[in-house]
Structure 1
Amino acid sequence: MPHRDTVSWNTMISGYTSSGKLDNAWCLFRGMVRSGSDADGYSFSRLLKGVASAKRFDLGEQVHSLVIKGGYECNVYVGSALVDMYAKCERVEDAFEAFWEISEANSVSWNALIGGFVQVRDVEMVFWLFGCMEMKMVDDGTFAPLLTLLDDPLLCNLLKEVHGKVLKLGLEKEITICNAMVSSYADCGLVLDAKRVFDGLGGSKDLITWNSMLAGFSKLEQKDSAFELFIEMLRTRIETDVYTYTSILSTCCGEEHRVFGQSLHCLVIKKGLEQVTSVSNALISMYTQFPTCALNDALSLFESLEDKDLVSWNSVLTGLSQKGQSEDAVKFFSYSRSLNMEVDDYAFSAVLRSCSDLATLQLGQQIHALAIKSSFESNEFVASSLILMYSKCGVIKNAQRCFEEICSTQSTVAWNAMILGYAQHGSGQVSLSLFSQMCNQNVKLDHVTFTAVLTACSHSGLVQGLKLLRLMEPVYKIQPRMEHYAAAVDLLGRAGLVKEAKELIESMPLSPDPMVLKTFLGVCRACGEIEMATQVANHLLEMEPEDHFTYVALSHMYSDAKKWEEKANVKKVMKERGVKKVPGWSWIEIGNEVCAFNAEDRSHPLCEEIYLMVEDLTQEMKWFETDNEFDDQTSLLDVNHS
């Protein structure tokens, strides 16, 4: 082009910035200046937009100096672009200064500045600016970012005030505002308010609206509502996308959702999304959460995924750890390390949990060292996993040391882990003392806190801990869950209070689940209450006819009572139903390797050598026993002769 004017240059610069090619746009801009063409407000605003998108603060400063040199800092469009650039680079102080240089700020300028303070989550400053802004300038660009800031239950009243402003200004039908409002209400736990806003849009909802509502249901574990909404989306032919599937897949986490989850997997394949990393990660996570026989599906998905990210690796690792396949989890972690994969707090937490299950102190210490090297030792989730690992490995002093390094952060997770650690060591009084400290220091209590404290009381025979269960809802505003009742039943059972344990179960506001009944079955067996145990077992067998636990518990109980006929009947029923006892496993840490085994196990590659050694040791024990008997007899003869 022989004669390039400013418009020509600006068109090319705009094209490059719009396509994300900032370096090309910058080179072109410099060429424009060198050629003698005058850069105007549009040139600067388009270039600054590209800088903001790329968050290139270093380049933004250079452009700003050229803006000042050209005398455009007071131009409303250039000034707004400068504010936006600094805001998106999280340089809110610079954004604030650039804002005050604008001669007549408009709504774009105000929204850019407010958006910057929203990004750094400065609630006080955001609302101060909002108060300074003239109401005639307020639009959807003002409210949408502001509403995204109000995603904390502590800010729900403020959220409702902003909603009132929206209604007062007649902006309640603005789709961007409503989408943000649905998300914020859901994040605050106000799902009914979110649904009210959602329904108020009628037929003007877009995909973001549907996805926001679906994500809200998923976050709040409103599974049935999420499923119904997703089906409604399909029925009304709403075009679903990646975000739709990641949200709905996250709700499928129980055996009762297996068929629905598999159907979703089919839809994912049909839409060609199986190689989208976020969707595959959601599928992997879903399969790892199914109670039975789904880990292979998760592993197959993982292996077939071409573009694995950190979440992909963590999903498999967490799944293995949560399913009790701790040895495989440790091996998987080692494999990821051999590929130089990044390790984050989720990975450390999962592998340390597996070390806890295996009680592998040496390996746990190595991972602790790696966590220190990676600067994750102070992360509350990693620290809590370290506390549990050291507790289960019997090194409570190290657990206490890890706790002391993080307790100043008011981490509920760490406090819970420490309480549980002392509970496992039978130090119930220490656990109760920690609970009192939590209350005194205003550390947030949650349902895990009470599970840990009740467990501590149970293991230490502190029946007075039952008061905590009664105080949970009226005093601490935490509704008791099944695990709390199970811990309380165990507490009463260990104290021999079978009648009281039964009364507690009967007084529960909801039907006891298998966990509570299994605990009570153990109590009945320990206290010799065969008749009551039989009733509980029959109820359990109706609920879980394929679970081996109840059959085994009954069988052992009848053996203890020498009721051989009843025991034979239990074994007969097991055989008829195809139920097999899951063997218990033992393991030993040799060097850096964990070796797991069960009775008569021959899976180890060195099993022949192992059994030969066992035979040799057994023979030596027999010889030792014979020698002792001979020595005893000789001594007796010596005594008689004397």
Structure 2
Amino acid sequence: MKPLLFSLLESSIFSFQKLSTTHCCTIKCGYMADVYVSNRILDSYTKLGFLSHAHKLFDEMPERDSVSWNTMISGYTSCVRLESAWRLFTSMRRSGCKGDGYSLSRLLKGVAFAKRLDLGQQLHSLVLKGSYECNLYVGSSLVDMYAKCERVEDAFEAFQEISEPNSVSWNALIAGFVRLRDIKTAFWLLGSMEMEGTVRLDDGTFAPLLTLLDDPMFYSLSGQAHAKVLKLGLEQEITVRNALITSYADCGSVSDAKRVFDGLRGSKDLVTWNSMIAGFSKHEQKESAFELFIKMQRTWIETDVYTYTSILSACSGEEHEIFGKSLHGLVLKKGLEQITSVSNALISMYIQFPTGAIKDALSLFESLESKDLVSWNSILTGLSQKGPSEDAVKFFRCLRSSDIEVDDYAFSAVLRSCSDLATLQLGQQIHALATKSSFETNEFVTSSLILMYSKCGVIENARKCFEQISSKHSTVAWNTMILGYAQHGSGQVSLDLFSQMCSQNVKLDHVTFTAILTACSHTGLVQEGLDLLNSMEPVYKIRPRVEHYAAVVDLLGRAGLVNKAKELIESMPLGPDPMVLKTFLGACRACGEIEMATQVANYLLEIEPEDHFTYVLLSHMYSDLKKWEEKANVKKMMKERGVKKVPGWSWIEVGNEVYAFNAEDRSHTLCQEIYLMIEDLTQEMQWFDSDNEFDDQASLLGLNPY
């Protein structure tokens, strides 16, 4: 009968119904008193995850041995129920059954997962007391526990106690140093492991190491690691392949990542697809990311949260709006809308769509039940970029009143809103809060402080913030300071700062050149600006973008060199861009080049018939030249096409409150008093102008009115 029961147990381990039937047969036949039989049933229950049934059986067992206790302890640790496992271990020791190497190693695994260093140290003392430190499995578990608790020195000591460490021991130690991003030691251990010669390097060795290679500076090292993987015949190990895809993508070589991805013909798992989609998204290869996502859908691989956060991050700009909304529909269909990370990705996506989509982002934010700091920062960033900026200030106040701690991104976003509002008093208060929270020297917060003080007209305070920055090689802070001086008409100071950036080896980027070319434009430094544009690619290895050409067109337009600006546009390798053409249109208007302006405006009206900018600028130009009929035609065209001028908004800070209004706005509660005051001020200005006119006429006649 016993062999039949064992056969039933072997077949029933994957079926709870069969196991229950076998358990009943065992009781009926009177075999439950046999410890071996009971342990087999107990083990089957724990492997299926039915711990309540297992524990009930365990309690009913008339006799238990160390296997019974270890089976239950292992079951609880496997299901991440450390407290239950710990209570059992304590009961086991009190019952007189001392823990052995197996029970200690299983408990150490549970402690490692929970990162309970205090419990791990207690177990270590029991390991020493029982002389188990040389035991391979206990020793490896100790190494793993200390490594996961980020105590790598203790992990190394435990490792040295193992007489003959295996690959599990080595991999646990290497993973500990990987967790601390100690690249030098991790790869030194890899070399030592290889030199040892007795242990084979496997997928558990390389997969963690490859996660460290996540910067373009490590591209060569990634290639070497890949070569070693091929040499050892590990190229078909899925975990290694997935790690290689991520590593190559993070190092900037999406083509190598794609080559590895394509090499996995029939063995791609969910992580493989997610890694490749994330690689495409990170490197702005959005169309490739979309194609791969659609292909993934056709392979019937079940998508997860990470799939959607990766693909949603690729959706930005008006051209991706339809695809992004379709993805939102899929998220709703799968019931993932309340997953915080997915909703955060959706909020960020809607923020990057045209201005009207900010309402959708706000709606998502409000409906999200579990908001984290990323949720708040995403909506704050959106409001600071697309406004209304006063709402960003209100949200910042709400964030501060919540239980979530404010970080540097939140401070940076609200300070940018203060910059747009030019609210010096509010900006100073937030500066004080940032100082109190120890974020004053953070490069992003400092850059936002520089911008805020610059836009509020206090360039001296902006410079003080710049001087106090902790990282003197922060490109963002240098760019902001250069732009600040540019907006204040101090182009020469901006050029001096640019020279200092070069001499101090601060990394230059495309924003640096946008800032310095703006400085040249606002100060009339024509030759300097042209020289900088021409030297960008050959000297600084930065290819000029549309915004750089627009800045130089503005520079030439301000200097009255409209024909040179036209020549520059015609020589652009990028082709005529609306941003550059609008800048050129403004230059034509300023210089009174009516024919050239009309040609440019007509072209812009063809490619962007819905944009109000060209209509308004053309209308103003006709007004300047008193061409009323042409102006009336422009207004008629706007009406026929349904184009409306977007009203400009103004802000004013009174009594620590920010008020927003536009032309002829009557929404304020004190609007009657405000308009009476405006009327009085207008009359005073008119009187002052007429008085000055009399003075000017009297001086021309040689009279002294006083």
Interval of TM-score (by shorter of Structure 1 and Structure 2):
over 0.9
Residues 208-219 of structure 1 aligned to structure 2 (within 5 Å)? 208-219=271-282
Q: What amino acid is aligned across from residue 67 of structure 1 in structure 2?
A: V
Gaps of 5+ in 1: 633-638
1:527 is displaced (CA, Å) by 1.4
1:477 to 517, 541, 548: 541
1:107 is displaced (CA, Å) by 0.4
The whole-number CA distance in structure 2 between the counterparts of 1:421 and 1:142 is 50
Cα shift readout 1:549-570 (whole Å, capped 9, x = no counterpart): 1111111111112222221111
- Three-state SS of the structure 2 residue aligned to 1:282 is helix
CA contact (8 A) 2:372 2:404 kept: no
- Corresponding residue for residue 612 of structure 2: 548
- Corresponding residue for residue 436 of structure 1: 499
- Corresponding residue for residue 637 of structure 2: 573
- Corresponding residue for residue 61 of structure 1: 121
Cα shift readout 1:342-379 (whole Å, capped 9, x = no counterpart): 21111111111100001001111111111112222122
Residues 510-549 of structure 1 aligned to structure 2 (within 5 Å)? 510-549=574-613
TM-score, scaled to structure 1: 0.95
The whole-number CA distance in structure 2 between the counterparts of 1:622 and 1:291 is 42
Cα shift readout 1:450-486 (whole Å, capped 9, x = no counterpart): 1111111111111212222222222222121111111
1:630 is displaced (CA, Å) by 12
1:317 to 380, 389, 403: 380
Please say if 1:107 is aligned against 2:167.
yes
Q: What amino acid is aligned across from residue 530 of structure 1 in structure 2?
A: I
- Corresponding residue for residue 265 of structure 1: 328
Cα shift readout 1:394-445 (whole Å, capped 9, x = no counterpart): 1112111111121544211111111111111111121111112112221111
- Corresponding residue for residue 38 of structure 2: none
CA contact (8 A) 1:194 1:213 kept: yes
The whole-number CA distance in structure 1 between the counterparts of 2:88 and 2:604 is 75
Cα shift readout 1:261-295 (whole Å, capped 9, x = no counterpart): 11111111111111111111111111111113111
CA contact (8 A) 2:585 2:601 kept: yes
Q: What amino acid is aligned across from residue 234 of structure 2 in structure 1?
A: L
Q: What amino acid is aligned across from residue 621 of structure 2 in structure 1?
A: M
1:15 is displaced (CA, Å) by 2.5
Q: What amino acid is aligned across from residue 353 of structure 2 in structure 1?
A: F
Please say if 1:123 is aligned against 2:183.
yes
- Corresponding residue for residue 85 of structure 1: 145
The whole-number CA distance in structure 2 between the counterparts of 1:456 and 1:618 is 35
The whole-number CA distance in structure 2 between the counterparts of 1:380 and 1:631 is 53
1:248 is displaced (CA, Å) by 0.8
Change (3 A) 1:623 1:500: closer
- Corresponding residue for residue 196 of structure 1: 259
- Three-state SS of the structure 2 residue aligned to 1:587 is strand
Change (3 A) 1:92 1:628: closer
1:547 is displaced (CA, Å) by 0.9
1:9 to 54, 57, 69: 69
- Three-state SS of the structure 2 residue aligned to 1:294 is helix
- Corresponding residue for residue 326 of structure 1: 389
- Corresponding residue for residue 158 of structure 1: 221
Q: What amino acid is aligned across from residue 109 of structure 1 in structure 2?
A: S
Q: What amino acid is aligned across from residue 367 of structure 2 in structure 1?
A: S
1:111 is displaced (CA, Å) by 0.6
Residues 33-432 of structure 1 aligned to structure 2 (within 5 Å)? 33-134=93-194, 136-406=199-469, 408-432=471-495
Q: What amino acid is aligned across from residue 88 of structure 1 in structure 2?
A: K
Structure whose alpha-carbon radius of gyration is higher: 2
CA contact (8 A) 2:249 2:257 kept: yes
Please say if 1:451 is aligned against 2:514.
yes
CA contact (8 A) 1:353 1:389 kept: yes
Change (3 A) 1:502 1:587: same
Change (3 A) 1:4 1:379: farther
How many aligned positions are there?
Answer: 635
The whole-number CA distance in structure 2 between the counterparts of 1:428 and 1:451 is 13
1:617 is displaced (CA, Å) by 4.7
1:32 is displaced (CA, Å) by 2.2
Q: CA RMSD in A?
A: 2.2
1:523 is displaced (CA, Å) by 1.2
CA contact (8 A) 2:108 2:141 kept: yes
Moved more, 27-36 or 364-373: 27-36
Percent identity between the two aligned chains: 80
1:621 is displaced (CA, Å) by 6.6
1:57 is displaced (CA, Å) by 2.0
- Three-state SS of the structure 2 residue aligned to 1:121 is coil
The whole-number CA distance in structure 2 between the counterparts of 1:626 and 1:439 is 53
CA contact (8 A) 1:473 1:479 kept: yes
Q: What amino acid is aligned across from residue 393 of structure 2 in structure 1?
A: V
CA contact (8 A) 1:407 1:415 kept: no
Q: What amino acid is aligned across from residue 333 of structure 1 in structure 2?
A: F
Moved more, 388-397 or 604-613: 604-613
The whole-number CA distance in structure 1 between the counterparts of 2:162 and 2:692 is 100
CA contact (8 A) 2:442 2:470 kept: no
CA contact (8 A) 1:326 1:357 kept: yes
- Corresponding residue for residue 565 of structure 2: 501
Moved more, 596-605 or 622-631: 622-631
CA contact (8 A) 1:360 1:589 kept: yes
- Corresponding residue for residue 13 of structure 2: none
The whole-number CA distance in structure 1 between the counterparts of 2:284 and 2:555 is 30
1:31 is displaced (CA, Å) by 2.6
The whole-number CA distance in structure 1 between the counterparts of 2:222 and 2:514 is 33
Change (3 A) 1:628 1:520: closer
The whole-number CA distance in structure 2 between the counterparts of 1:420 and 1:626 is 39
- Corresponding residue for residue 34 of structure 2: none
The whole-number CA distance in structure 2 between the counterparts of 1:584 and 1:248 is 35
Q: What amino acid is aligned across from residue 133 of structure 1 in structure 2?
A: M
CA contact (8 A) 1:88 1:116 kept: yes
Cα shift readout 1:200-227 (whole Å, capped 9, x = no counterpart): 0001100100000000000001010001
Q: What amino acid is aligned across from residue 104 of structure 1 in structure 2?
A: E
Change (3 A) 1:504 1:172: same
The whole-number CA distance in structure 1 between the counterparts of 2:169 and 2:692 is 95
1:514 is displaced (CA, Å) by 1.4
Cα shift readout 1:515-541 (whole Å, capped 9, x = no counterpart): 111111111111121111111111211
CA contact (8 A) 2:355 2:386 kept: no
Change (3 A) 1:469 1:124: same
Q: What amino acid is aligned across from residue 165 of structure 1 in structure 2?
A: K
Q: What amino acid is aligned across from residue 173 of structure 2 in structure 1?
A: L
1:606 to 667, 670, 673: 670
1:65 is displaced (CA, Å) by 1.8
Gaps of 5+ in 2: 1-58, 697-702
TM-score, scaled to structure 2: 0.87
Change (3 A) 1:385 1:181: same
- Three-state SS of the structure 1 residue aligned to 2:406 is coil
Change (3 A) 1:471 1:567: same
- Three-state SS of the structure 1 residue aligned to 2:659 is strand
- Corresponding residue for residue 20 of structure 1: 80
- Three-state SS of the structure 2 residue aligned to 1:445 is coil
Change (3 A) 1:76 1:422: same
CA contact (8 A) 2:441 2:470 kept: no
1:96 is displaced (CA, Å) by 1.3
Cα shift readout 1:66-101 (whole Å, capped 9, x = no counterpart): 211111111111111111111112211111111111
CA contact (8 A) 1:482 1:512 kept: no
The whole-number CA distance in structure 1 between the counterparts of 2:541 and 2:426 is 40
Change (3 A) 1:597 1:63: same
CA contact (8 A) 2:550 2:579 kept: yes
